[in-house]
Amino acid sequence: MLRYLSSGIRRFGTMPIGLHSRLNWEFYAVVKGRCGVLLDSGEKLPLRSSCLWVFPPHHIHGWHGERRHCSVAVIHCGSVPWQLVEAVPPQGFLVRSLSEAECRQIQDLAHSLEPDFHDRNALSELRFDRAIIDLALLALSGVASAAPSSADRRVMEKVDEAVAWFRHHLRQQPGIEDVAAAVHVSSSHLRRLFITVRGQGPRAVLANAQVDVAMRLLAESDLKIESVAAESGFTSARDFSRVFSARKGCSPSEWRRKVQPPYVEPETGRNIHS
């Protein structure tokens, strides 16, 4: 779910971007020149070149630079692969250096998405999903991880199978026992698998999956809130609104108004669909 796309020249030395939070995940790559992050603590992080930052939703930050301009590529999306979610430090962000080839890769990726972003069609979401996976792989290539053993892979596959089954059967409002039975393990064993792979029990992970599905439906459809609640596996619109508000800080209707086009460009305030 791509929510914002921009690339080009920035002059943060003369026009810095003040502190504000973003609703979505943000991939921010400086591909030429240098810029640095402003934190809500008042700290100015050092200027960096050829660098990719990944910020989680609601992270408060801004940008500063030097008199010379820099070139950036910026992509916001509603969700990212769980491997990237787990790699981002709590209350923090992920950052890694880029090679020249990787800078060109990100520039080419941003440019390739522009036709779909401004004139969406039946295949646009697939291209967006592929781009987010490519960016996540770039970001995670700087994170050391040991190659999983065959046993570890089977555990990861079992957890992925459970999450996929749950998402596919949301309308039936499956419980933990149903999910466990579907992947042929006991509920207690399923919990051990989830904690091993995701660091959370299945209830927390599957609740996040429900909200992710709801966010996609709110952003990409005109379904009424009651229908979104049903499609996302909630017992009622009231229950859905309660859970959603607790997790996102606003009601489903308010969130939909914020994220559905027209979407305002965060850096300039320009309506990108006007």
CATH of the domain at 98: 2.60.120.280
* 126 & 167 share domain: no
pLDDT at residue 273 in the model: 40
* 158 & 105 share domain: no
Whether residue 272 is contained in a domain is answered as no
Residue whose tokens read 């509920």: 187
Which stretches of the chain score pLDDT less than 70? Answer: 142-151, 260-274
- Give every CB contact of residue 161 below 8 A, 6+ residues apart in sequence: 183
With beta carbons less than 8 A apart as the criterion, state whether 262 and 247 touch. no
* 54 & 184 share domain: no
Whether residue 125 is contained in a domain is answered as yes
CA distance 28 to 93: 11
Report the CATH number that the domain containing residue 209 is assigned in CATH.
Answer: 1.10.10.60
* 107 & 183 share domain: no
pLDDT at residue 165 in the model: 95
Reduced to 3 states (helix: H, G, I; strand: E, B; else coil), residue 50 is coil
Q: Which two tokens stand for residue 193?
A: 């698998």
Whether residue 26 is contained in a domain is answered as yes
Domain boundary among 110, 140, 170: 140
pLDDT at residue 150 in the model: 66
pLDDT at residue 269 in the model: 47
For residue 160, the enclosing domain spans 150-259
- Give every CB contact of residue 258 below 8 A, 6+ residues apart in sequence: 23, 250
* 8 & 135 share domain: yes
Whether residue 254 is contained in a domain is answered as yes
Domain boundary among 140, 175, 197: 140
* 134 & 155 share domain: no
Residue whose tokens read 């998402």: 167
With beta carbons less than 8 A apart as the criterion, state whether 197 and 83 touch. no
With beta carbons less than 8 A apart as the criterion, state whether 31 and 61 touch. no
Whether residue 145 is contained in a domain is answered as no
Query: Total structural domains in the chain?
Result: 2
Domain boundary among 105, 140, 175: 140
pLDDT at residue 257 in the model: 82
* 168 & 85 share domain: no
Query: pTM score, two decimals?
Result: 0.63
Q: Which two tokens stand for residue 145?
A: 């991880």
* 102 & 169 share domain: no
pLDDT at residue 130 in the model: 93
* 156 & 132 share domain: no
* 177 & 135 share domain: no
Whether residue 267 is contained in a domain is answered as no
